[in-house]
Chain A
Amino acid sequence: MNETSVPFWRDERVLQWIAQIVFLVAVVAFLWYLYHNMITALAQRGLLPSFHFLSLTAGFDIGEHLIPYSRSSTYGRAFLVGILNTIEVSFLGIIFATILGIIIGVMRLSTNWLLNKLASLYIEFIRNIPLLVLLVFWYTGVFLQFPRLKEAKILPGPTILSNRGVAMPWGKPTATWHLYLYILAVGLIVAAIVWWRLTLIGKRTGRMPLVSVWSTLTFLGIALLGWVGLVLFAHQAPLALDTPQIKGLRTVGGLELTPEFMALFSGLVFYTAAFIAEVVRAGIQSVSKGQVEAARALGLTGFQTLRLVVFPQALRVIVPPMTSQYLNLTKNSSLAVFIGFPDLYSVAGTIHNQTGRAVEVTVLMMAVYLSFSLATSVFMNWYNKKIRLVER
């Protein structure tokens, strides 16, 4: 058989390249057509794509901002405020959803009939309703239905519940706060050294001590010592308790959380927790019973079995779906716009309304969400690889 005997119009490689070039030309032509239409339409309105508007004065207020922001700030700054708000609510949401999800997932596996049924009822209910409906219900049906500030419900603490939101006691940094931060840094370094030394000892002797427990205890001990030391010698604790009080039409002091934030946060947490619970349950159930029995036969205690045998194996099953749940939560935080929390999507919408720059706003917004997704999946892939090495 001679390869040159195949004429080029029947040579598969040539045909594949021709097909690809045709495909590329078609796609590019189609995209160019869309782009051409868009540019023509935009040129008519005098809005040719450019990002100069980001340095113009925004002129609108944003209810909640983590960085200084006012009406006279720029659109770019407004965008940043939105991004930070999204990050804030996603970060807190992920932490609390994980905790609640693990609790419900373990309840779901419990041999206690009541806990088991309650957990599955919860999961089945939440998983079959849209998040947006849940969010609206939390907002208009729960947090806005709290009494007015004059008749506010005051829980012990004092935590003030009213239709203006939730205000709770919070630590307020005093003059010694900066000093205390240095002490915490020292504690962190010492804890890291303890971690490193114990791991070394563990590797040498073959009996691994409770590394994370000891280093955490070291850190907490130094933090406590520092606190006591500051009170004794500088006569001022690094944080003073700041309690909220009702003053006229608003609350003063403490940590104030708006109803919008609370509704979004609790909606995201309660919704995602149901999905995380299923992930956790599946992960724990994936560890075969023989593993536990073998561990017990080797003489490991119940806690050791959990820590050394069940948990590492379950984690491997749990991490990939958990990643997608975290990503979902971050993406779902964009529903905040419906209840008026100024997240990235909501701020972007306002900017679009004011400037009419649909293309630029869409591109920026999508780029930010995409980089969140990319960052999370890069981190999770790294973590996944790391725990996979434990395997053998």
Chain B
Amino acid sequence: MMNREPEQYTEGEVLAPPTERYTILGWLHKNLFSTWYYSLLTLVTLYIVYAILKPTLIWAFQQAEWQVVVVNLRLFMVGQYPADQIFRIWLALHLLAFTAGLAWAIWLPKARRLGAFLLLIPLALAALPFISTTSKINWVIFAVAALLGWALGIWQPRRMRRPLLILLLAYFPILIFLISGVEPILKLVKTNLWGGLLLTMLLAVVGITVSFPLGILLALGRQSKLPIVKLFSVLYIEIIRGVPLVTVLFMAQLMLPLFLPPQIKIDNVLRAMAGIILFAAAYMAENVRGGLQAIPKGQHEAAWALGLNGFQTMVFIILPQALRNVIPVIVGQFIALFKDTSLVAIVGLLDLLGIASTVLAQPEFIGHQREVYLFIAMIYWVFSYAMSYASRRLEVALGVGER
């Protein structure tokens, strides 16, 4: 922390600070009552806010029965995932925390305050009154894992670079292995048991990860000088972007089984995943194309002058720069996809939104729609807002787009 010496002024030079900023009355006058119609507007708005807020607050604190959320918390989080296997989800989360801590220490060693703030989140979750002791312990472990990764990264920043990259690349397969399981080692959990927030997250993560390479290929195809390849890419991208996600899900749900040879059977969750991947790839392609177009032509020419061929130019010169530039956009797409996965509830999957109808069908919780849907909306909101806030801060920290 820096201790700045108070700067010295001679007395005559000091100007009185502008008072209106500091007095409450001045502030009120400037920001709320500057002219007569602004005053009127302020008063009318205040009344409307009061008229809406009062019944809402009375409902939320006196009439609403939040018991429905507390009782079904596990259902909302992981759906029907077997209770004795939940430790695997925690394991995946702890590994994620460790990786994130490590990455934070290596790539953002200076952003300590934001990191410390993020570390408070699992601890705050552990302090929630209505969650089980196991969950509390696990949230603490989560925080410790993140701290451990961070400490390791600070201690050996150079030597941990390569393990970090390997960990990042391996995380996705490890995640799928942990959640789904391979029979002799881990008990197989069928996809129809995946549900709640877990399924929502998995769909979004799988969607963005698998659509990434597809999107790059499509973007390159659209930029290509080869007319047939270009035509195919443009057609694919524009058709998918022109139809709603539900129709793609509908197609994946009904037509995918027809397309595959009869001996291959895939279940609902995999079909939805395929639909989401196909859908996300078109949008990913457009995002990547934006990055490709931002690379000045001189980069191509310089690479050619150095004797690289077309493939080498793309892989070593153009793509690394283009992909670095589109990271914020891809984060944005991930957030949008995270929200869009709620559409799988329409085709009957039990994601966070889909599980709500299961909860509301229990006889003791009929008529609690408001509580349940508000709770779900809040979960979506917290995640989306946290992600977009973090990505905005990261953009500033990384200086992406400024250079």
**Complex interface: chain A residues within 8 A of B257 (CB):** 41
The reply to whether A16 and B225 contact each other, CB–CB distance below 8 Å, is: yes
Q: Which residues of B350-398 have CB atoms within 8 Å of chain A's CB atoms?
A: 353, 356, 369-370, 373-374, 376-377, 380-381, 384-385, 388
**Complex interface: chain B residues within 8 A of A358 (CB):** 254-255, 258
- Which residue of B246, B262, B376, B388 contacts A345 across the interface (Cβ within 8 Å)? B246
Q: Does B343 contact A (CB under 8 A)?
A: yes
Q: Does A23 contact B (CB under 8 A)?
A: yes
The reply to whether A37 and B377 contact each other, CB–CB distance below 8 Å, is: no
**Complex interface: chain B residues within 8 A of A337 (CB):** 246, 346
Q: Which residue of B lies closest to A367 (CB)?
A: B243
How far apart are the CA atoms of A366 and B247 in the complex, in Å? 7
Q: Does B293 contact A (CB under 8 A)?
A: no
How far apart are the CA atoms of A23 and B227 in the complex, in Å? 11
Q: Does A137 contact B (CB under 8 A)?
A: yes
The reply to whether A362 and B251 contact each other, CB–CB distance below 8 Å, is: yes
Q: Which residues of A17-63 have CB atoms within 8 Å of chain B's CB atoms?
A: 19-20, 23-24, 27, 34, 37-38, 40-42
Q: Does A130 contact B (CB under 8 A)?
A: yes
> Which of A109-117, A173-181, A227-235, A249-257 lines the interface with chain B?
A109-117
**Distance in Å from the Cβ of B7 to the closest Cβ of chain A?**
31
Q: Which residue of B lies closest to A365 (CB)?
A: B247
> Which of A121-129, A153-161, A285-293, A312-320 lines the interface with chain B?
A121-129
Q: Does A335 contact B (CB under 8 A)?
A: yes
The reply to whether A345 and B244 contact each other, CB–CB distance below 8 Å, is: yes
Give per-residue flags for B230-262: 1 if the beta carbon is below 8 A from chain A beta carbons, else 0.
Answer: 001000000101111111001100110111111
Q: Does A65 contact B (CB under 8 A)?
A: no
**Complex interface: chain A residues within 8 A of B385 (CB):** 124, 128
**Complex interface: chain A residues within 8 A of B373 (CB):** 133, 136-137, 140-141
How far apart are the CA atoms of A16 and B227 in the complex, in Å? 10
**Distance in Å from the Cβ of A72 to the closest Cβ of chain B?**
27
Main secondary structure of the interface of B (DSSP, over half): helix
The reply to whether A20 and B229 contact each other, CB–CB distance below 8 Å, is: yes
The reply to whether B250 and A362 contact each other, CB–CB distance below 8 Å, is: yes
Known: A124-B385, A366-B247. A130 touches B380 (CB 8 A): yes
**Complex interface: chain B residues within 8 A of A34 (CB):** 259
Q: Does A132 contact B (CB under 8 A)?
A: yes
**Distance in Å from the Cβ of A108 to the closest Cβ of chain B?**
14
> Which of B42-50, B116-124, B185-193 lines the interface with chain A?
B42-50
The reply to whether A133 and B376 contact each other, CB–CB distance below 8 Å, is: yes
How far apart are the CA atoms of A130 and B353 in the complex, in Å? 10
Q: Does B41 contact A (CB under 8 A)?
A: yes
How far apart are the CA atoms of A125 and B377 in the complex, in Å? 10
Q: Which residue of B lies closest to A348 (CB)?
A: B250
How far apart are the CA atoms of A274 and B388 in the complex, in Å? 16
> Which of A199-207, A237-245, A276-284, A369-377 lines the interface with chain B?
A369-377
**Distance in Å from the Cβ of B400 to the closest Cβ of chain A?**
20
Number of interface residues of A (CB under 8 A): 53
**Distance in Å from the Cβ of B59 to the closest Cβ of chain A?**
11
**Complex interface: chain B residues within 8 A of A332 (CB):** 244
How far apart are the CA atoms of A331 and B242 in the complex, in Å? 8
- Which residue of A37, A125, A141, A369 contacts B259 across the interface (Cβ within 8 Å)? A37
Q: Does B168 contact A (CB under 8 A)?
A: no
How far apart are the CA atoms of A366 and B252 in the complex, in Å? 13
How far apart are the CA atoms of A132 and B200 in the complex, in Å? 14
Give per-residue flags for B243-284: 1 if the beta carbon is below 8 A from chain A beta carbons, else 0.
Answer: 111110011001101111110000000000000000000000
How far apart are the CA atoms of A332 and B32 in the complex, in Å? 37
Q: Which residues of A352-386 have CB atoms within 8 Å of chain B's CB atoms?
A: 352, 358-359, 362, 365-366, 369-370, 373-374
Q: Which residues of B32-56 have CB atoms within 8 Å of chain A's CB atoms?
A: 32, 34, 38, 41-42, 45-46, 49
Q: Which residue of B lies closest to A356 (CB)?
A: B254
**Complex interface: chain B residues within 8 A of A369 (CB):** 242-244, 247
Q: Does A304 contact B (CB under 8 A)?
A: no
The reply to whether A38 and B255 contact each other, CB–CB distance below 8 Å, is: yes
Q: Does B131 contact A (CB under 8 A)?
A: no
Q: Does B65 contact A (CB under 8 A)?
A: no
**Distance in Å from the Cβ of A373 to the closest Cβ of chain B?**
4
The reply to whether B41 and A115 contact each other, CB–CB distance below 8 Å, is: yes
- Which residue of A20, A129, A359 contacts B384 across the interface (Cβ within 8 Å)? A129
**Distance in Å from the Cβ of A371 to the closest Cβ of chain B?**
9
Q: Does A334 contact B (CB under 8 A)?
A: yes
- Which residue of B45, B246, B339, B369 contacts A115 across the interface (Cβ within 8 Å)? B45
Q: Does B228 contact A (CB under 8 A)?
A: yes
The reply to whether B370 and A125 contact each other, CB–CB distance below 8 Å, is: no
- Which residue of B232, B241, B343, B370 contacts A132 across the interface (Cβ within 8 Å)? B343
27 CB contacts below 8 A, A to B, read: A16-B226, A20-B228, A23-B228, A23-B232, A37-B258, A38-B258, A42-B258, A111-B31, A112-B41, A113-B32, A127-B384, A129-B381, A130-B342, A132-B345, A133-B342, A133-B380, A134-B377, A136-B369, A137-B373, A141-B370, A335-B343, A358-B254, A365-B250, A366-B239, A366-B247, A370-B242, A370-B243
Beyond A141-B370, A365-B250, list 12 extra A-B contacts (CB 8 Å): A16-B226, A37-B259, A37-B262, A114-B31, A124-B385, A128-B380, A131-B339, A133-B380, A134-B377, A338-B346, A359-B255, A366-B243
Q: Kindly list the 5 A-B residue pairs having the minimum CB-CB distance in the complex, ordered from nearest.
A: A113-B31, A373-B242, A128-B384, A358-B254, A140-B369
